[in-house]
Structure 1
């Protein structure tokens, strides 16, 4: 299955930010999208691509053309909402959008993901809605757009800035996709170690010769460690800063940083 993940807008899109300019929408969108990508990489027979870039606001037509040319099976766009460039704490919650083509499965998928987002976050359920958005209309595969909270609401703006909320949003989206399509997680690629130990052979790679696929595999592994650390599953925690996951996904690690995280992963594999 091929899934295209879209983070709405770009780093400098005019107006797309919290009213006090403390966060741009793209910060939430891209961070949450990368968490979705990292989590989806854990599933069998799933390929994931992205439409967005950190250096520019990729035009909408370019995004949908990329998804269509790649022949994606699903398109998911991640956003944060707002009533305008002013505060209004009376308006809040989460809503998911579709464009209704005859026979499309998008509304059913959207309903599942919407329910997961509400269950994971506890925010108001604004429901599944139909809208004539370009990324929904011009994609030839099922497409949904998730508005994960209001930047113009003080409480929700604080949530949108938090790593924990971004992770909840990503987990809800991935859980919904996995449930709807019946996805199952991939088993580790293991080779025998010393005694009864096993070592994931995927990490025995020369430091800076990783392909894009391998960088994403690394990001997925770091994401697992991060989630287990912040949830208390790993004691003491070994990774409680999500920036390591983002660095791996963006392939921005120095050789020293890469060797450090790979060493940590190896130690976790043989403990």
Structure 2
């Protein structure tokens, strides 16, 4: 199975940074994406970034790149959340994961695995209800891709405490490990389901 990592937004995308300018989403998500790709490749898992460029690649082009691999892949789109327009600090904080309105069962399984790892790390998971670990939304990158896909919002770039955490090595490792462990747990679950269907 091919693991595809999407680092959202580009260098020129307006407003995608912390109010103090220290965290720039395009740079941060690319750093995390590189760490995730390297971590999975070290474990022998076929993984790649679909957006090696620093500029903003259109959603339609990103979907085209993903769909070139067919249904035998999964996509994780990495972002940092924001409550406001980036001009001032806001109160919202925490981690969340989204699937598209037309999400497959495997998309939902991937989202649940990522959220469960996050909870296990004692990180605040934002969710629509106590029973639901993920959000469902009208997301082009998730709805137009042929393979299971999720979009992860790694804390808030306009929350001061979240930014301090994200920029720390502890925070970088936490975000990276959430993605690594969640993806690996999904792969284990997927293989287990496949074995049960063929036995």
What TM-score comes out, normalization by structure 2 length? 0.84
Structure 1 residue runs without a partner (length 5+): 184-271
Tell me how far 1:55 sits from its aligned partner: 3.2
Tell me how far 1:9 sits from its aligned partner: 0.5
Give the structure 1 partner of residue 15 of structure 2. Answer: 15
Give the structure 2 partner of residue 106 of structure 1. Answer: 107
Give the structure 2 partner of residue 48 of structure 1. Answer: 47
Structure 2 residue runs without a partner (length 5+): 128-133, 190-199
**Which structure has the higher relative contact order (CA within 8 Å, separation 6+)?**
2
| Greater CA drift, 2-11 or 86-95 | 86-95
Tell me how far 1:22 sits from its aligned partner: 1.7
2:56 counterpart of 1:57: yes
Kindly indicate whether the alpha-carbon contact (under 8 Å) linking 1:51 and 1:58 is maintained by their aligned counterparts in 2.
Answer: no
Quote the Cα distance in structure 1 between the aligned partners of 2:37 and 2:59. Answer: 20
| Greater CA drift, 99-108 or 10-19 | 99-108
Report the secondary structure of 2:55's partner residue: coil
2:164 counterpart of 1:158: yes
Distance 1:174 1:101, change over 3 A: same
Distance 1:118 1:12, change over 3 A: farther
Quote the Cα distance in structure 2 between the aligned partners of 1:23 and 1:88. Answer: 13
Give the structure 1 partner of residue 94 of structure 2. Answer: 93
Tell me how far 1:38 sits from its aligned partner: 0.6
Quote the Cα distance in structure 2 between the aligned partners of 1:89 and 1:75. Answer: 30
Quote the Cα distance in structure 1 between the aligned partners of 2:28 and 2:105. Answer: 28
* Runs of 4+ residues deviating >2 angstroms: 86-90, 100-104, 117-120
2:187 counterpart of 1:181: yes
Kindly indicate whether the alpha-carbon contact (under 8 Å) linking 1:8 and 1:26 is maintained by their aligned counterparts in 2.
Answer: yes
Give the structure 2 partner of residue 27 of structure 1. Answer: 27
| Greater CA drift, 60-69 or 83-92 | 83-92
Quote the Cα distance in structure 1 between the aligned partners of 2:20 and 2:4. Answer: 32
Give the structure 2 partner of residue 140 of structure 1. Answer: 146
Distance 1:99 1:55, change over 3 A: closer
CA RMSD of aligned residues (A): 1.8
Aligned residues: 181
Kindly indicate whether the alpha-carbon contact (under 8 Å) linking 2:99 and 2:108 is maintained by their aligned counterparts in 1.
Answer: yes
Tell me how far 1:89 sits from its aligned partner: 4.5
Quote the Cα distance in structure 2 between the aligned partners of 1:95 and 1:3. Answer: 20
| Greater CA drift, 122-131 or 101-110 | 101-110
Give the structure 2 partner of residue 198 of structure 1. Answer: none
Tell me how far 1:29 sits from its aligned partner: 0.6
Tell me how far 1:11 sits from its aligned partner: 1.8
Kindly indicate whether the alpha-carbon contact (under 8 Å) linking 1:11 and 1:54 is maintained by their aligned counterparts in 2.
Answer: no
Tell me how far 1:147 sits from its aligned partner: 0.3
What TM-score comes out, normalization by structure 1 length? 0.63
Larger Rg, first or second structure (1 or 2): 1
